[in-house]
Amino acid sequence: MARTDDQASHDQQLRDAATRLGIGRRRFLTVTSAAAALAFTTNLPSAHAADAEIAPRTLTENPFTLGVASGDPLSDAVVLWTRLAPRPLEPGNGLPPTGVVKVDWEIARDEKFRKVARRGTAKAHAEFNYSVHVDVDGLDADRVHWYRFKVGSWVSPVGRTRTSPARGRHIEEVRFGLVSCQAYEDGYFTAYKHLANEDLDAVFHVGDYIYEYGIDAVGGDRKYTDRTLPSLFNHETTTLEDYRLRYALYKTDPDLQAAHAAHAWYVTWDDHEVENNYAAGIPEKNQSVEAFVARRAAATRAYWENMPLRMPKPDATDLKLYRRHHYGKLAQFDILDTRQYRSDQANGDGWQFPTPESENPARTLMGATQERWLMDGFRKSKAVWNVVPQQVVFSRRKNTTAAASKLSMDAWDGYPAARERFLAGAEDIGVENLVILTGDVHVAYAMDVKRNFDDPDSRTVGVEIVGTSIASDGDGEEHPGNWGTLTAANPHMKFYDGRRGYTAITLNEEHARADYRVISHITRPGGTVSTAASFVTEAYNPGMQRA
Ligand SMILES: [Fe+2]
């Protein structure tokens, strides 16, 4: 089916706007704000306040095909999400190109909805692909709730969520999941089926929720025999319609739906939500900056539409994903965005020897504003654990035992000055109990964060828990080919496992514990879960030890 005229004109609008801004390739900060601004200044719902209401009785097919989700819980509030899509794999998702649907929602203290805490009606606008974001407040702290949506006679699946404890309040323990990297075409989301059964307070997703690559008719390594995916998925996503459809495809997955329905999520993105290894306004491949800005704006918008994120204020000009959450007195979560504001990868990206270019102190991974914000948060923290969910590997990873090693230019290793500012700042402030959470690399690691990675005897200042992928890179193996080299070359690397799965993390006043869960296989359904290893780091005595 051809793209709609609306879609084509939206893309042209963005391209024209980007061209008018006269964005230069290296002025990435300008491009960043331009892309983000463009994402939210075109087709705002207010411009279509007079949208005709679509009567619920005209919805003759179930509109709740993409499940429900909740996110960014506070002690008195949580964001509830759904998106109406009677035909999720068709352009337009089976709804008119303009219009608004009134969606009733309710949230209760019990699973049977006898004790309703709040209820109301939200509007799902065509402009935002009929997504619904309800920021429900007035809820009790530190409590499980259940929620659902209704349109006419259609009722959504029931979701379970949990408010956080009030800031500063004493709590015994918090348990959360760490997930990332779910290439649909690499296998089944069986890890999510098991994650849904875990007893968790929340889940952190640190990026690569979608991948932009084309997906063939059999769903790649899923090798479907019971369905054929439409050919419109078999090309790289570049337009708003492409990204919207890609989220719809992912969200039809029953295991992903189960994990969203079971837990509140805090999400942040990495590169594949837009394009592999992009940096701020700089594309990976040869694309004009104008076209890339338009692409990034489309990707940004589709991301916001599909995630349980708190609605940006009407005057917001970008999608600021870095944010801080508190979990009682026990934890402060500083969720980073290391993709949107970064300097371009040095030395042509990939694994390269460090050079004056990669070591240039002017290079940034978070951008100056976010760096200041993080240090300010560390300074004010009163939490036992300072947890930093973020995207790319923080600790040094040499791939040879020789003195000089190539390093990943896309990770913190490619931004050593930025890492040094992070570590020196944390040291000056006296940050205790630092736990960095990471995704991106599709393997699990337990690592000690050294004050100086060149000196194995230097102080251990915290730990890094790298969670493996949900699906990306297929079944994987316990010891990938470089297992021996990496563990020998990096003495601060205490654990390395190359299978698919997720990580369950427990924090209490004594220790932080990581249970590395792995799935037997994902290229066929029915994979079983087991714990590959468990590691703890003691409070005020950092260092990963096998539990
Ligand atoms: Fe990934």
Instruction: Tell me the pLDDT of the chain (547 aa) as tens digits.
Output: 333 455 555 556 656 665 655 544 444 445 555 666 666 555 444 545 668 999 999 999 999 999 999 999 999 999 999 999 999 999 999 999 999 999 999 999 999 999 999 999 999 999 899 999 999 999 999 999 999 999 999 999 999 999 999 998 999 999 999 999 999 999 999 999 999 999 999 999 999 999 999 999 999 999 999 999 999 999 999 999 999 999 999 999 999 999 999 999 999 999 999 999 888 778 887 788 888 888 888 899 999 999 999 967 433 346 889 999 999 999 999 999 999 899 999 999 999 999 999 999 999 999 999 999 999 999 999 999 999 999 999 999 999 999 999 999 999 999 999 999 999 999 999 999 999 999 999 999 999 999 999 998 999 999 999 999 999 999 999 999 999 999 999 999 999 999 999 999 999 999 999 999 999 999 999 999 999 999 999 999 999 999 9
Please give the distance, rounded to the nearest whole angstrom, from the Cα atom of residue 394 to the centre of ligand 1.
15
**CA–CA gap between residue 297 and residue 38 (Å, rounded):** 6
Please give the distance, rounded to the nearest whole angstrom, from the Cα atom of residue 498 to the centre of ligand 1.
13
pLDDT of residue 35: 62
Please give the distance, rounded to the nearest whole angstrom, from the Cα atom of residue 272 to the centre of ligand 1.
7
pLDDT of residue 188: 98
Please give the distance, rounded to the nearest whole angstrom, from the Cα atom of residue 440 to the centre of ligand 1.
4
Please give the distance, rounded to the nearest whole angstrom, from the Cα atom of residue 338 to the centre of ligand 1.
14
Please give the distance, rounded to the nearest whole angstrom, from the Cα atom of residue 59 to the centre of ligand 1.
37
Please give the distance, rounded to the nearest whole angstrom, from the Cα atom of residue 470 to the centre of ligand 1.
9
Please give the distance, rounded to the nearest whole angstrom, from the Cα atom of residue 185 to the centre of ligand 1.
12
Please give the distance, rounded to the nearest whole angstrom, from the Cα atom of residue 154 to the centre of ligand 1.
36
Neighbours of 167 (CB within 10 A): 16
Specify whether the CB–CB gap between 297 and 318 falls below 8 A: no
Please give the distance, rounded to the nearest whole angstrom, from the Cα atom of residue 89 to the centre of ligand 1.
23
pLDDT of residue 287: 81
Q: Is 153 left (phi over 0), alpha (psi -120 to 50) or beta?
A: alpha
Please give the distance, rounded to the nearest whole angstrom, from the Cα atom of residue 410 to the centre of ligand 1.
12
Please give the distance, rounded to the nearest whole angstrom, from the Cα atom of residue 213 to the centre of ligand 1.
12
Please give the distance, rounded to the nearest whole angstrom, from the Cα atom of residue 441 to the centre of ligand 1.
6
DSSP for 285-324, written as a single string? SS--HHHHHHHHHHHHHHHHHHS-PPPPPTT--S----EE
Please give the distance, rounded to the nearest whole angstrom, from the Cα atom of residue 503 to the centre of ligand 1.
16
pLDDT of residue 283: 82
Please give the distance, rounded to the nearest whole angstrom, from the Cα atom of residue 3 to the centre of ligand 1.
29
Please give the distance, rounded to the nearest whole angstrom, from the Cα atom of residue 422 to the centre of ligand 1.
24
Please give the distance, rounded to the nearest whole angstrom, from the Cα atom of residue 522 to the centre of ligand 1.
16
Please give the distance, rounded to the nearest whole angstrom, from the Cα atom of residue 164 to the centre of ligand 1.
29
Please give the distance, rounded to the nearest whole angstrom, from the Cα atom of residue 391 to the centre of ligand 1.
9
Please give the distance, rounded to the nearest whole angstrom, from the Cα atom of residue 520 to the centre of ligand 1.
20
Please give the distance, rounded to the nearest whole angstrom, from the Cα atom of residue 342 to the centre of ligand 1.
18
Please give the distance, rounded to the nearest whole angstrom, from the Cα atom of residue 270 to the centre of ligand 1.
8
What single-letter DSSP state applies at residue 491?
T
Is the four-CA dihedral 17, 18, 19, 22 of positive or negative sign? positive
Please give the distance, rounded to the nearest whole angstrom, from the Cα atom of residue 500 to the centre of ligand 1.
12
- Quickly count helices (H) and strands (E) in the chain: 9, 25
Q: Kindly state the tokens that stand for 436.
A: 């960095």
Please give the distance, rounded to the nearest whole angstrom, from the Cα atom of residue 156 to the centre of ligand 1.
30
Please give the distance, rounded to the nearest whole angstrom, from the Cα atom of residue 45 to the centre of ligand 1.
33
Please give the distance, rounded to the nearest whole angstrom, from the Cα atom of residue 472 to the centre of ligand 1.
6
Please give the distance, rounded to the nearest whole angstrom, from the Cα atom of residue 75 to the centre of ligand 1.
31
Please give the distance, rounded to the nearest whole angstrom, from the Cα atom of residue 268 to the centre of ligand 1.
13
Please give the distance, rounded to the nearest whole angstrom, from the Cα atom of residue 442 to the centre of ligand 1.
6
Please give the distance, rounded to the nearest whole angstrom, from the Cα atom of residue 419 to the centre of ligand 1.
21
* Strands 144-151 vs 460-466: parallel, antiparallel or unpaired: unpaired
Please give the distance, rounded to the nearest whole angstrom, from the Cα atom of residue 540 to the centre of ligand 1.
32
**CA–CA gap between residue 485 and residue 467 (Å, rounded):** 20
